[in-house]
Structure 1
Amino acid sequence: MECINVFNKSIRGASHLANGKPCQDYSISFSENGVQILVVCDGHGGETYFRSDIGAKLAAEITLDILKGFSNSMGANPFSECSFSITAKPRKNPFVDSEGNRLRYEDMNESQKGYAKQAQAYTEASSKCVKEQKLMNELLRQIYNQWKNEISIHCDSHPFSSSELSKLNGKNIEKAYGCTLLAYLQTESYWLSFQIGDGKILFCNKNLSWSSPIQEDCNCFLNYTTSLCDNYAIDEFRYAFCGNGFLPFSVFLCSDGLEGSLRTEANIQDFYEQIIELCADEEDVNAELADYLPKLSEMGNKDDISISGAVYMKKSNIDGFSKSLDIQRKKRAIQNEKISKKNELDKISTKIETLEVKLSKYIETRSSLKSAIDNFRRSIQSKEKEFTDNEDIISSIQKDIRELQEELKRKEKDFNEWVFTVKNEIASLEEENIDDERSEDSIMSFFKFW
């Protein structure tokens, strides 16, 4: 006999408690007559989305009602023999840039390559299971249109105040109610799942192997997410369905508050396995979640947290599950130890790389300094040669001066002696021609000259 455990819990995040904000998440779980439905909605934060808590509640309740109607009206298996998954429709051609120029894949950055791969995956999938895709698109359009209609009714009955209109800043009213939507429907013969925005949907089989039925969307990254309030929301849905007989052992839907608080895929899986264990022990999962999730929010990213899940467990498989869980935990412990050791190696490698980069810079600096020193040395050598040459010139000039000074002394001596001799000769001539006045005047002029 199979025991089906369905549960859901949404809690107000620690930061919302601190600043007086309402819980902007909303979750639902339903199980009746072989049909299980799980829904999680996460209302956006930020002033523009001031009624996102209401938008999330309306989206979850509308989705539940429409999925109930779908399961009742579609017969035993509208996806017979099909297994399919498709990502969001690309908003633009990733091979053309904003200026209309063609891009080659090899010239793209990592982000652009991600969009290109997503666009290619969408194109390849869009030609498969065409009838079933049309059925899913009609279902999603019905949910979206009903949500828009309900928020319009709510807005009419609760008109925006002047301050709210200021926050909306001319945007469509859907922005005020903006939220994400994750949903899962399972019957005895098929399942379907869809998502717009962030959060996570995970499957687990009996061997505790985890997978996600919904493909990733490059438009959901960091704090940015697609939303029901977007202008082309229908194109932003990703979905999957299966009617070939595969039904998961357990299914979990969560808002990004759980992802952000648990941080890693391994931690999320370990958390979900503890919930499966609670189901195996027939514990009250909702009560445990109500007690633990507020603590997790406080320890984690302090955001609202929502979870909705279903565990399908046969009584005869409980012992086998416990054994698988024990093996899985040991494997995860080994894996965590491996990751820890690998991180240690990576840290050492990173330090080595950092030091090598630092060493390379210092080697480069050393080379530059050595080149500068060599230039200085060559300059000094040149100046030393110039100095030596200058010294030689100075010595040569000084020698020339000394020699000329000695020659000058000799010449002065010779000159003085010659003058003395000339004076004597002139004196003799003067005595001989004492009566010659002209001669005297001439002689006196001569001496005055000297």
Structure 2
Amino acid sequence: MTNGTNKFYVILMDSIYSFCEGESHRLCNKPCQDYAYADSSEGLSMAIVSDGHGGERYFRSDIGSKFIVNIAKEAIRSFVETVTKERQSVFHGEPFTQYTKESATDSQINSISHKMLTWLFSSIISQWNVAVAKHARENDLTEWELSNVDQKYKDEFLDMRNNPEATFEKTYGCTLMAYVQTQTFWFAFHIGDGKLVRMSIVNNKIEFDQPVSWDNRCFLNKTTSICDSNALEEFRYCYQGADSFPIAVFLGSDGLDDSYGDGNQLYNFYANLYKQIAKSGRKEAQNVLKRALPKISKIASKDDMSVACVYDDLNINENFY
């Protein structure tokens, strides 16, 4: 397949992902509030992670995170099909571009790329709101919720169920981040905390960075969220045409950040995961990841853990070594 400079790119992607209940949740029999997904097939690769909020008010965020991931993956497929026409797209030939509301230029705001991505984010939010409202009205409080949720939040939930105009975003609140790659472009988006890490080869050396700008409103136990009233404005994103693709992208919830920090230790964790893939293959690497996450949670952050990764499988051994 060619891009505008008549260069040929052969991209063979694969993916792994895993998520687990955190040690603190295991000790109190609280459900895992993280959810993750990754897939690579038919020229479309994606990785998605959502972290449900831990506070009592958000007592169904485990369900909210699962809903948002499943809604996002279908919305992404539809979006890619819509924006791609005759092997071209709104991102065709575009340089690497980052967007946040705070730093946006007029040209970015008026671009077709921004308008199309805003349509995608709006679709995900609206579908999620419909899904959580339906779930709330059709599912009574569970035995665990009756025993473990503060009475004021149970009363608030029951009062809302009696109000046909009520919405249930806070009860199901969660974050969302995703990475998407086709043969001709890639893009990533994020609302909330956690880290999206890009692995690239620069001057024959592996380098890591975070292509989606960080949101300074995410600090300590505070985060932006799908459940915010201005969630659409809080999305950050980046994209690029076919001139440069990462060799791997890793998405991890904040349970991993709180264990490794924001820098070399976190990057070393992902480098070792990439090495495991190169050494033993996708299936065994996913098993290793599945076993490792609960152990990391136990000795470090105690939080739920989730990781999703897509990577270039064509030259993985050459790239790593």
Q: Provide TM-score, normalisation by structure 1.
A: 0.61
**Which amino acid in structure 1 is aligned with residue 286 of structure 2?**
N
Question: Which of 169, 173, 181 is 2:168 aligned to?
Answer: 173
The answer to whether the Cα contact below 8 Å between 1:178 and 1:228 also exists between their aligned partners in 2 is yes
Paired position in structure 2 for 1:310: 310
- Which SS does the other structure have where 1:281 is aligned? helix
Paired position in structure 2 for 1:274: 272
Does residue 1:78 correspond to 2:85, yes or no?
no
- Which SS does the other structure have where 2:313 is aligned? strand
The answer to whether the Cα contact below 8 Å between 2:255 and 2:303 also exists between their aligned partners in 1 is yes
The answer to whether the Cα contact below 8 Å between 1:13 and 1:305 also exists between their aligned partners in 2 is yes
Paired position in structure 2 for 1:350: none
Paired position in structure 2 for 1:404: none
Higher mean C-alpha deviation, range 210-219 or range 70-79:
70-79
Structure 1, residues 73-99: CA drift from partner, whole Å, max 9, x if none? 321322112232111x3xxxxxxxxxx
Following TM superposition, by how much is the alpha carbon of 1:126 offset from its aligned partner in structure 2, in angstroms? Answer: 5.5
The answer to whether the Cα contact below 8 Å between 1:78 and 1:243 also exists between their aligned partners in 2 is no
- Cα distance in 2 between the residues matched to 1:248 and 1:292: 25
- Cα distance in 2 between the residues matched to 1:141 and 1:242: 21
- Cα distance in 2 between the residues matched to 1:296 and 1:175: 29
- Cα distance in 1 between the residues matched to 2:106 and 2:252: 26
C-alpha change, 1:320 and 1:248, in structure 2 (3 Å) is: closer
- Cα distance in 2 between the residues matched to 1:148 and 1:125: 30
Following TM superposition, by how much is the alpha carbon of 1:178 offset from its aligned partner in structure 2, in angstroms? Answer: 0.1
C-alpha change, 1:67 and 1:238, in structure 2 (3 Å) is: same
- Structure that is richer in strand per residue: 2
Structure 1, residues 17-57: CA drift from partner, whole Å, max 9, x if none? 00110000000011111110110000001110010000000
**Which amino acid in structure 2 is aligned with residue 197 of structure 1?**
G
- Cα distance in 2 between the residues matched to 1:28 and 1:247: 20
Question: Which of 230, 250, 253 is 2:251 aligned to?
Answer: 253
Paired position in structure 1 for 2:207: 209
C-alpha change, 1:255 and 1:320, in structure 2 (3 Å) is: closer
Following TM superposition, by how much is the alpha carbon of 1:321 offset from its aligned partner in structure 2, in angstroms? Answer: 2.3
Question: Which of 123, 126, 129 is 1:145 aligned to?
Answer: 126
Following TM superposition, by how much is the alpha carbon of 1:70 offset from its aligned partner in structure 2, in angstroms? Answer: 1.6
Q: How does 1:248-397 map to 2 (within 5 A)?
A: 248-283=246-281, 284-315=284-315, 318-319=317-318, 321-322=320-321
Following TM superposition, by how much is the alpha carbon of 1:172 offset from its aligned partner in structure 2, in angstroms? Answer: 4.5
- Cα distance in 1 between the residues matched to 2:318 and 2:115: 43
Question: Which of 228, 234, 243 is 1:236 aligned to?
Answer: 234
**Which amino acid in structure 2 is aligned with residue 286 of structure 1?**
Q
The answer to whether the Cα contact below 8 Å between 1:279 and 1:311 also exists between their aligned partners in 2 is no
C-alpha change, 1:48 and 1:167, in structure 2 (3 Å) is: farther
Paired position in structure 2 for 1:340: none
- Cα distance in 1 between the residues matched to 2:296 and 2:12: 28
**Which amino acid in structure 1 is aligned with residue 250 of structure 2?**
F
- Cα distance in 1 between the residues matched to 2:42 and 2:243: 18
Does residue 1:12 correspond to 2:21, yes or no?
yes
Does residue 1:27 correspond to 2:36, yes or no?
yes
The answer to whether the Cα contact below 8 Å between 2:15 and 2:40 also exists between their aligned partners in 1 is yes
Following TM superposition, by how much is the alpha carbon of 1:264 offset from its aligned partner in structure 2, in angstroms? Answer: 4.0
Paired positions, count: 289
The answer to whether the Cα contact below 8 Å between 2:109 and 2:115 also exists between their aligned partners in 1 is no
- Which SS does the other structure have where 1:218 is aligned? coil
- Which SS does the other structure have where 1:231 is aligned? coil
The answer to whether the Cα contact below 8 Å between 1:86 and 1:126 also exists between their aligned partners in 2 is no
Paired position in structure 1 for 2:52: 43
C-alpha change, 1:152 and 1:313, in structure 2 (3 Å) is: same
Query: How large is the Cα RMSD of the aligned pairs?
Result: 2.0
- Cα distance in 1 between the residues matched to 2:12 and 2:294: 28
- Cα distance in 2 between the residues matched to 1:273 and 1:260: 18
Following TM superposition, by how much is the alpha carbon of 1:288 offset from its aligned partner in structure 2, in angstroms? Answer: 0.4
C-alpha change, 1:236 and 1:67, in structure 2 (3 Å) is: same
- Cα distance in 2 between the residues matched to 1:257 and 1:167: 29
- Which SS does the other structure have where 1:288 is aligned? helix
- Cα distance in 2 between the residues matched to 1:125 and 1:300: 44
- Cα distance in 1 between the residues matched to 2:83 and 2:319: 35
The answer to whether the Cα contact below 8 Å between 1:181 and 1:228 also exists between their aligned partners in 2 is yes
**Which amino acid in structure 1 is aligned with residue 154 of structure 2?**
L
Paired position in structure 2 for 1:378: none
- Cα distance in 2 between the residues matched to 1:259 and 1:289: 16
- Cα distance in 2 between the residues matched to 1:212 and 1:81: 21
C-alpha change, 1:233 and 1:320, in structure 2 (3 Å) is: closer
Paired position in structure 1 for 2:184: 189
Structure 1, residues 92-122: CA drift from partner, whole Å, max 9, x if none? xxxxxxxxxxxxxxxxxxxxxxxxxxx3x23
The answer to whether the Cα contact below 8 Å between 2:14 and 2:310 also exists between their aligned partners in 1 is yes
What percent of counterpart residues are identical? Answer: 33
Does residue 1:134 correspond to 2:146, yes or no?
no
- Cα distance in 1 between the residues matched to 2:82 and 2:112: 16
Uncovered stretches (5+) of structure 2, i.e. residues with no partner? 1-9, 161-165
- Cα distance in 2 between the residues matched to 1:130 and 1:78: 9
**Which amino acid in structure 1 is aligned with residue 36 of structure 2?**
S
The answer to whether the Cα contact below 8 Å between 1:198 and 1:256 also exists between their aligned partners in 2 is yes
